[in-house]
Each structure stands twice: as structure tokens, then as C-alpha cells.
Amino acid sequence: MLSNLIATGYFLGFLCRIRKNTVITPSLKAFSIKQHIPAEVLSVGLPGFVMTMMSTVSNGALNHMAAGYSDTAIAGMGIAKKIDLLAYAIAQGMTQGTLPLIGYNYTSGSHKRMKAAIKTAFAYSFLIACAGAILLWTLAAPISRCFIADAETVGYGQHFLKIICLACPTTAVNFMVITVFQAIGKKVQPLCLSLLRKGSLDVVFMVILNHAVGVSGIA
């Protein structure tokens, strides 16, 4: 909470400093509802909001099911999810970083350059995700031990991590597709993909696989 407040304060201060040299300003007088700009901003950001909200639902269901086994199972799952979050953040950062580039080129009609940017971003993010998956699979045990020394928790952590890391490449693909839809002004498609990805289908699969194969099925 404090880090977000500090970041917000920094950016507001930055905008105040540059307000005389740019059209971007925190002034309320410059706020406009013409051309449906607020609605466009909210609709483009909605998939990201939904993804974050549904991730909370998904994690709540995951922890509830893992709690049925033991405290060490919950701790091991927590370690695996925290480590996986790093790979998740890298994939999201790379794809979201290309969103303005894709959007500008799409709007200006430079579709050839837009497609080249999409292909390049997709190739790099997918390769890095694959490399991350291999790294996490190979070093699952020592990485888990960085968080805790308890042997049983480490055992759970490395086991869950080896399962979860397999989704790194597909996560990169998913983020890239959502980003492209967002960049070209599509609203329904990225929202549907975000809803399907977290807090809906994954919870159903967790319930089914938990009954079928136990705690490994949750991961």
C-alpha cells in the first residue's frame, strides 16, 4: 500500500513539473468527456482489472483446497506461486510494453510495422517464457530452499513449481493475444479471455483434479 502511494505521489509530482511543456496535465480544467474518452480508457483497462480480480478468486479457491491437506502444503503452494509470479510479471511486462507501439501503428495505418512488432514481441516473450520454464523446472529445489529450510515444505514447493512452470509459455501467448486485442481497440475479446484464464475454468479444473489425483491436481 505504501509503495503504491509513494509511486502515485511521484507521478503526480512529475506531471506537475512538466505541465508547462506538455499537453499532459493533472489539471481538472483539462478533463474532458468529449469523444467518449473516459469510457474508452475504462473499457481498454477493464480486462486488466478483471484479470487481477479473478486472480484473487482463483488464489482463494486454491488456498482453500490446499488447506484441506496441511499447512506445509499451503506454504509450498505459496512458494511456488510467488516464484511463478516473477515469470508471470516478465511475460506481462514484455507484452504490455508493446501495447502503445501496436496501438499507434494500428491507428496510423502502418499495419506492416504493427505486425512486425507483434511477431517480434511474441517471439521474444515466448522464448524467454520457455527458458524460464526450463530454469524453474531444473532449479525447483534450490529455489524453493531460498524461501524456507523445512524439508517437507521445500518438497511441496519444488513439486508444485515443476507443475506450475509448465504453463509459462502458454501464459506468454495468452498475454500477447490479450495485448493485441487491447491495442487495436477490441473490448469483448480480451475481457472474455481474461475471464476464461483465471477464476472460472481454472477453479473448475482444480476441483475436478483435486478429487481425481489429490493435491498435485490443484497445482
pLDDT above 90: residue 50: no
Q: Residue type for 89, please?
A: A
Buried b (16+ CB within 10 A) or exposed e, 47-62: bbebbeebbeebeebb
Q: 111: pLDDT confidence band, cut at 50, 70 and 90?
A: very high
Question: Looking at residue 20, what is its pLDDT?
Answer: 82
Question: Looking at residue 27, what is its pLDDT?
Answer: 74
Mean pLDDT of 35-62: 81
Most confident of 68-72, 148-152, 205-209: 205-209
Mean pLDDT of 106-114: 92
- The Cα 186–Cα 181 span in angstroms is 5
Mean per-residue pLDDT over the chain, rounded? 88
Grid coordinates given for 22: 506538455
pLDDT above 90: residue 186: no
pLDDT for 69-95, tens place per residue?
989 999 999 899 888 888 778 888 888
Domain boundaries, the chain: 1-31, 36-218
Give the global pTM. 0.76
Q: 119: pLDDT confidence band, cut at 50, 70 and 90?
A: very high
What angle do the packed helices 111-138 and 99-108 form, to 10 degrees? 160
Grid coordinates given for 84: 511463478
Mean pLDDT of 190-208: 87
Question: Looking at residue 53, what is its pLDDT?
Answer: 85
Question: Looking at residue 38, what is its pLDDT?
Answer: 81
Beta-carbon contacts of 168 under 8 Å, excluding residues fewer than 6 positions away, are: 84, 87, 91, 129, 130, 132, 133, 136
Mean pLDDT of 187-204: 85
pLDDT above 90: residue 204: yes
